[in-house]
């Protein structure tokens, strides 16, 4: 019986050793997964920040282009007005209204 007790104790020790190794391996796996997730999470956060900066820059560019489009449309309307046509006729072509006299410096 004493041999049986000794062999059962040895088996119990072996089992404890195996359990410890199994826990150690599982701990290493969990730790490596945790480290991997942390590193990937940091990389994703950096990507999010870069994308936010790009988005802000693109929104500003869109706003600038919208203003520019409005200015071009206003200029187009002005260029189709009688006021603009008269101004160009006076400046470029030297035309005058009836009863106007043109004075030029010499």
Per-residue pLDDT reduced to its tens digit, 2-12? 666 666 676 66
Res. 1: pLDDT tops 60: no
50 vs 105, which has greater pLDDT?
50
User: What sign for the dihedral angle of Cα 32, 36, 41, 43?
Assistant: positive
What is the pLDDT of the chain when averaged over all its residues? 88
Is 79 inside any structural domain?
yes
Cβ–Cβ under 8 Å, residues 102 and 94: yes
Cβ–Cβ under 8 Å, residues 45 and 52: no
Where do runs of H (alpha helix) occur along 1-106?
Answer: 2-79, 82-91
pLDDT for the residue 98: 81
Is 80 inside any structural domain?
yes
pTM equals 0.54
pLDDT for the residue 4: 66
Is 52 inside any structural domain?
yes
Residue 11 belongs to domain spanning = 2-91
The count of domains in the chain is 1
Residues 71-99: tens digit of each pLDDT: 999 999 999 999 999 898 888 888 888 88
Residue 76 CA, distance from chain mean position: 35
Q: What CA–CA distance (Å, rounded) separates 24 from 53?
A: 43
Burial (CB < 10 A; 0-12, 13-18, 19+), residue 80, is exposed
Is 37 inside any structural domain?
yes
pLDDT for the residue 6: 65
């Amino acid at each position: 019986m004493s041999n049986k007790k000794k062999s059962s104790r040895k088996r119990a020790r072996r089992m404890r050793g195996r359990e410890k190794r199994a826990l150690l391996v599982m701990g290493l796996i969990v730790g490596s997964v945790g480290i991997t997730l942390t590193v990937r999470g940091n990389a994703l956060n950096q990507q999010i920040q870069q994308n936010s900066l790009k988005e802000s820059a693109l929104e500003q560019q869109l706003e600038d282009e919208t203003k520019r489009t409005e200015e071009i449309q206003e200029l187009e309307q002005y260029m189709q007005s009688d006021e603009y046509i008269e101004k160009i006729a006076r400046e470029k072509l030297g035309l005058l209204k009836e009863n106007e006299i043109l004075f030029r410096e010499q």
